[in-house]
Amino acid sequence: MPAKKREHDPTTGKKNKKEKRGELAVINSDLRDEAVQKGMRDAWQRKESYTNGDIHLDCEPFPHCQITRFLQSESFVESLQAELLQLNFNSKSNDLYKFKQSDDLRERKEHYISQIRSVIFGEFRIWLSEVLQVDLEATVDISCAKYEHTDVLLCHDDELEGRRVAFILYLVPPWEVKDGGTLDLFSTDEHCQPVSVVKSLLPCWNSLVFFEVSPVSFHQVAEVLSEEKCRLSLSGWFHGPSLPRPSRYIEPPVPRHTHIPRDESLLFEWVNEMFLDPRYQARVQQEFEESSEICLPGFLQEEKLRQVRSALQSSEILWERKGPPNKRCYGCADMQNVPSCVQECWELLSSESFFILLSNLTGLRLHYLCGDEEESENEDGKNETENRDGEGNTQASASSTDADTSTTEKKDKGPPTCVGELRRWMHGDYTLLHDSVKREYGLDLQLHMGCAGWKSEFGGFTSYIAHDEDEEFFSLAPDSVS
Average pLDDT value for residue range 425-435 = 89
Average pLDDT value for residue range 238-258 = 90
Query: Does one domain contain both 93 and 181?
Result: yes
Q: Counting every residue, how long is the chain?
A: 482
Q: Is 256 within a domain? A: no
Query: Which residues are registered as beta bridge partners of 463?
Result: 385, 475
Half-sphere exposure of 99 (CA within 13 A, CB side): 24
Q: Is 463 within a domain? A: yes
338 contacts 317 by C-beta, under 8 angstroms: yes
Query: Does one domain contain both 386 and 466?
Result: yes
Average pLDDT value for residue range 366-373 = 72
21 contacts 73 by C-beta, under 8 angstroms: no
Query: Does one domain contain both 346 and 396?
Result: yes
Domain count across the chain:
2
Mean of per-residue pLDDT scores for the chain: 85
215 contacts 125 by C-beta, under 8 angstroms: no
Helical (H) or strand (E) element with 129: helix 125-132
Average pLDDT value for residue range 138-166 = 93
Residue 399: predicted pLDDT: 37
Q: What sign has the CA pseudo-torsion 331, 336, 342, 343?
A: positive
- Beta strand 319-322 with 400-408: parallel, antiparallel or unpaired? unpaired
CB burial string 425-458: b at 16+ within 10 A, e below: bbebbbbbebeebeeeebbbbbbbbbbeebeeeb
* CA–CA gap between residue 447 and residue 274 (Å, rounded): 17
Q: Is 11 within a domain? A: no
Query: Does one domain contain both 222 and 311?
Result: no
Q: Is 45 within a domain? A: yes
Please tell me the pTM assigned to this model: 0.84
Q: Is 4 within a domain? A: no
* CA–CA gap between residue 32 and residue 383 (Å, rounded): 50
Q: Is 285 within a domain? A: yes
CB burial string 303-321: b at 16+ within 10 A, e below: ebbebbbebbeeeebebee
Query: Does one domain contain both 309 and 204?
Result: no
Query: Does one domain contain both 389 and 472?
Result: yes
**CB neighbour list of residue 225: distance below 8 Å, 6 or more residues apart:** 149, 178, 179, 180, 181
203-223 tens-digit pLDDT? 999 999 999 999 999 999 999
Query: Does one domain contain both 27 and 89?
Result: yes
Last residue of a domain, one of 205, 239, 273: 239
Query: Does one domain contain both 204 and 290?
Result: no
Query: Distance from first CA to last CA of the chain, Å, rounded?
Result: 89
Residue 413: predicted pLDDT: 59
Phi, psi angles (nearest 5°) of residue 325:
-65, -20
Residue 371: predicted pLDDT: 63
Residue 19: predicted pLDDT: 39
Q: Is 109 within a domain? A: yes
- C-alpha Rg value of the chain to the nearest Å: 28
Residues 318, 324, 325, CA angle at the centre, nearest 5°? 100
Q: What is the CATH number of the domain that holds 38?
A: 2.60.120.620
Query: Does one domain contain both 159 and 198?
Result: yes
* CA–CA gap between residue 243 and residue 344 (Å, rounded): 51
Q: In this model, does residue 177 exceed pLDDT 50?
A: yes
Q: Is 150 within a domain? A: yes
Query: Does one domain contain both 100 and 210?
Result: yes
* CA–CA gap between residue 82 and residue 406 (Å, rounded): 52
Q: In this model, does residue 351 exceed pLDDT 50?
A: yes
Residue 292: predicted pLDDT: 86
Residue 436: predicted pLDDT: 63
Domain hosting 74: range is 17-239
Residues 387, 393, 395, CA angle at the centre, nearest 5°? 160
Query: Does one domain contain both 167 and 292?
Result: no
Q: pLDDT band for 97, please (50, 70, 90 cuts).
A: very high
Query: Does one domain contain both 218 and 314?
Result: no
Q: pLDDT band for 100, please (50, 70, 90 cuts).
A: very high
* CA–CA gap between residue 81 and residue 348 (Å, rounded): 59
Q: pLDDT band for 131, please (50, 70, 90 cuts).
A: very high
